[in-house]
């Protein structure tokens, strides 16, 4: 196979080198006007290297041939903007160029606009993918993420293309949030909105590199929720409550460790003689959904609390087959969670407790329950009741809690919570 071909242009000899695959490369001028002189130049190229680049440095013939092939492929292949960014990213990884933006393709959409669509529950391909694979993702989570995008990412990134975002951009963004006084926990939540979307975009080939790789999260103690003392709990639940539903909802939570959404989701069919089945959680965006961690469970129901629940059922104005215990204005929706929280704050105020200063919130009941029961029960028994389970723990204790355990926990609960079991019929 021939290594090259010679031909003349305007009296100058040009050489077309041939690759081992038999492909001719772009013709290069030898600068010579006679064939013999041109042959000597070509022989020199093949032996010592071909002058290339602005400085005309000698480079091995196979390297120059390879580069020539790459350039031909780039010029003739049907590339789009994202393909070009992949090539640019490969050059950037070698430290040869600095990638700041792309030209076209899906990666050229403004970064904040991409984030807004990414967290749009109805339109997001990410959400659709999660749901198709049986993973849980709630409308409320997407709603809160969208709000963070609009509040923080739109002002910070405006029309910056998705494929222009770098790790340095994210670092500077996070530091600006710190300068504005946001806590480490809040900053991390804001960053997750962007980093989750960027990592997904990289996996889907929308951007050539993952700018979140190696991004350091902020550390710091999250603001701890407060917890009532036994004496304070007694005072709170013996204070006059304006809303009976709020009273019973808080009472149910503090004596079972149930979350607010689980409390609101309780329906008539969930109430047993001594046991309450926690089958659902309620969100006014998602409606009825599975409890957190996707696990149904049973909790011991103290007689006084059961009586209070049945009392609310009797007062329920919606006469349907399986009504919500904590009824709202409409038969297919329970009361708003804000009513539970407002009732707790009012009762705390009447008991002389500054809920805001102490960090007392509805979720504090779960901490109170766990703290009061820890001295009397094992961690396994408590976690089965409260649903406080990581995936590893869930897999280890996936079996249902036994009736014997329920009775034991119920007996301990009756003693532990007797100070708050003072249901006021006029509440």
Q: What is the pLDDT of residue 80?
A: 63
Q: What is the pLDDT of residue 369?
A: 85
Do 236 and 353 form a contact (C-beta atoms < 8 A)? yes
Residue 136: count of CB within 10 angstroms of its CB: 13
Q: What is the pLDDT of residue 405?
A: 54
- Report residue 375 as tokens: 């001295």
Q: What is the pLDDT of residue 249?
A: 97
Do 426 and 387 form a contact (C-beta atoms < 8 A)? no
Class of residue 202 by CB neighbours under 10 A (exposed 0-12, middle 13-18, buried 19+)? middle
Do 206 and 107 form a contact (C-beta atoms < 8 A)? yes
Q: Which of 277, 271, 267, 283 is closest to 322 using CA atoms? A: 267
Cross-strand pairs, 16: 5
Class of residue 171 by CB neighbours under 10 A (exposed 0-12, middle 13-18, buried 19+)? middle
Chain centre to alpha carbon of residue 97: 32
Instruction: Give the list of residues 6+ apart from residue 32 with CB closer than 8 angstroms, or none.
Output: 12, 13, 38, 40, 41
To the question of pTM greater than 0.95 for the whole model, the response is: no
Q: What is the pLDDT of residue 9?
A: 87
Spell out the domains of the chain, with CATH numbers in brackets. Answer: 4-77 (no CATH), 80-223 (1.10.150.130), 230-416 (1.10.443.10)
Q: How many residues does the chain have?
A: 427
| Segments of the chain with pLDDT less than 70 | 1, 20-21, 52-57, 59-106, 219-224, 293, 374-413, 415, 422-427
Alpha-carbon distance of 52 to 66, in angstroms, equals 13
Q: What is the pLDDT of residue 250?
A: 96
Class of residue 2 by CB neighbours under 10 A (exposed 0-12, middle 13-18, buried 19+)? exposed
Q: What is the pLDDT of residue 401?
A: 42
For 185-234, write each residue's pLDDT tens digit: 899 999 999 999 999 999 988 888 889 887 777 765 555 678 899 899 99
Q: What is the pLDDT of residue 393?
A: 38
Alpha-carbon distance of 134 to 128, in angstroms, equals 10
Task: Give φ, ψ of 12 to 5 degrees.
Answer: -105, 135
Cross-strand pairs, 5: 16
- Report residue 102 as tokens: 């792309």
In Å, what is the CA distance from 252 to each residue of 55, 76, 271, 302, 365?
80, 70, 12, 9, 9
């Amino acid at each position: 196979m021939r290594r090259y071909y010679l031909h003349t242009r305007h009296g100058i000899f040009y050489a077309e080198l041939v690759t081992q695959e038999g492909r001719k490369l772009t013709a290069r001028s030898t600068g010579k006007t006679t064939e013999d002189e041109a042959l000597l130049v070509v022989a020199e190229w093949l032996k010592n290297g071909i002058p290339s680049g602005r400085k005309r440095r000698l480079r091995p013939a196979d390297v120059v041939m390879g580069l020539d092939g790459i350039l031909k492929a780039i010029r003739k292949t049907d590339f789009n903007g994202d393909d070009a960014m992949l090539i640019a990213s490969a050059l950037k990884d070698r430290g040869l160029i600095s990638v700041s933006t792309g030209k076209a393709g899906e990666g050229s959409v403004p970064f904040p606009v991409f984030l807004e669509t990414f967290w749009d529950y109805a339109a997001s391909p990410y959400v659709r993918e999660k749901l198709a694979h049986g993973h849980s993702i709630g409308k409320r989570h997407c709603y809160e993420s969208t709000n963070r995008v609009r509040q923080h990412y739109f002002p910070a990134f405006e029309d910056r293309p998705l494929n222009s975002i770098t790790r340095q951009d994210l670092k500077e963004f996070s530091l600006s949030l710190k300068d504005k006084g946001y806590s480490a926990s809040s900053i991390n939540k804001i960053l997750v909105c962007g980093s989750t979307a960027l990592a997904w975009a990289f996996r889907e080939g929308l951007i050539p590199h993952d700018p979140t790789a190696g991004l350091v999260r902020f550390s710091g103690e999250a603001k701890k929720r407060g917890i009532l003392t036994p004496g304070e709990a007694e005072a709170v639940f013996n204070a006059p409550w304006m809303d009976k539903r709020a009273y019973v909802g808080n009472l149910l939570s503090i004596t079972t460790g149930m979350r607010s959404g689980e409390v609101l989701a309780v329906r008539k069919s969930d109430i047993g003689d001594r046991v309450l089945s926690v089958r659902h959680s309620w969100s006014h965006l998602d409606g009825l959904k599975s409890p957190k961690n996707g696990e149904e469970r049973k909790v011991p129901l103290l007689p006084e609390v059961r009586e209070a629940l049945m009392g609310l059922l009797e007062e329920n104005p919606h006469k349907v087959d399986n009504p919500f215990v904590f009824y709202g204005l409409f038969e297919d929706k329970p009361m708003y969670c804000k009513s539970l929280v407002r009732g707790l704050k009012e009762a705390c105020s009447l008991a002389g407790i500054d809920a805001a200063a102490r960090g007392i919130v509805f979720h504090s009941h779960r901490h109170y329950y766990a703290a009061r029961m820890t001295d009397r029960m094992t961690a396994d028994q408590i976690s089965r009741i409260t649903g406080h389970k990581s995936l590893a723990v869930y897999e280890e204790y996936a079996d249902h809690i036994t009736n014997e355990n329920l009775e034991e926990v119920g007996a301990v609960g009756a003693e532990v919570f007797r100070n708050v079991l003072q249901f006021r019929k006029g509440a």
